[in-house]
Amino acid sequence: MPEPSRPRPIVIAGERVFLSHVFAEDAPLLAQWFADLEFTALLGQQGRSFTLEQEQQWIRDNTAAKDDRCTFAIVLRDGERLIGTCSLFDINLLHGIAELGIAIGDKTAWGQGYGREAVRLLTTYGFRYLNLHNIRLWVHGFNERAYRAYVQAGFREAGRLSGATLFDGRRYDRILMELVRGEGEIAG
């Protein structure tokens, strides 16, 4: 899948990845990722497969200037390859809270710590530039790799919805995790 012809600006720099803008021309690659049932199941979208048109709409909806959401492309520094996206959404600046979502769509990038680094960059952005106090996320009990990555990124469990996720005939907990400014936060 060809990368965008324009250079990707580095919005938030990390050691191995950086966060940048999501471009309209990223839609075919995102559609390829989000057509994969294994990938969408890990995100809690069991049985869902998304089309190019749906991804184009997602990009339009999520990259427009909004006070309650910011979305970034996750890009490898080496070769500037797009490997996923991450967002802070349901941002409430009055109370200093937001929810975090991340999707590493490039399976060759799984298990290499890129997601953990992207989460660290995104939470640093939320605390430093949005003045957030609390960032939360949800993870499904069957997604053990994501759970471990969030713990390593400084998140802690804040609660569980017992058996709230049904996948492949089994029930799993839906786990609420949080990172509070100054508590467990990894310095950026």
Six-digit token string for 160: 């569980």
Q: Which residues contact 180 (CB under 8 A, 6 or more apart)?
A: 133, 134
pLDDT confidence of 186, banded at 50, 70, 90? low
Average pLDDT, whole number, for the chain?
Answer: 92
* Domain positions in the chain: 12-133
| Cβ(26)–Cβ(4) below 8 Å | yes
Instruction: Decide: 109 and 145 in contact? Cβ < 8 Å.
Output: no
pLDDT (average), residues 169-173: 95
Which pLDDT value is given to residue 188?
42
The fold for domain 12-133 equals Aminopeptidase (3.40.630)
Quickly state the pLDDT bin for 46 (edges 50, 70, 90). Answer: confident
pLDDT of residue 185: 55
Identify how many contiguous H helices and E strands the chain contains and give both numbers.
Answer: 5, 8
Model's pTM, two decimal places?
A: 0.91
Give the span between the Cα atoms of 106 and 82, in whole angstroms.
8
